[in-house]
Amino acid sequence: MPVTKNMRRKLDYLVRTTGRAEAEIVAQAVDEGLTELYRKQLAETYLSGGIDREKAVHELGRDAVEELDYARNSIDADIEWGLKSA
């Protein structure tokens, strides 16, 4: 993946302001990015029934799973309300 001007600007800024090596910053960015992508995929898999709640809690944490459950229940309630009004 080529480094765009915007990515280069951000990377140069981070190197300059943190005093850290470019490779160290890139390694952290990859690690944090992969972690975020992993968590998003776990959430999607949980919501679609691909993993059970216990596994989701283990991987994402209880608070995150409770937020997912709340959001899903809110959407379900909105849909049910909308269908009753139709």
* The model's pTM: 0.78
Locate the domains of the chain by residue range.
5-85
Per-residue pLDDT of the chain (86 residues; tens, 9 = 90+): 566 999 999 999 999 999 999 999 999 999 999 999 999 999 999 999 999 999 999 999 999 999 999 999 999 999 999 998 76
SS (HEC) of the chain: CCCCHHHHHHHHHHHHHHCCCHHHHHHHHHHHHHHHHHHHHHHHHHHCCCCCHHHHHHHHCHHHHHHHHHHHHHHHHHHHHHHHHC
Cα separation, 27 vs 25, in Å, equals 5
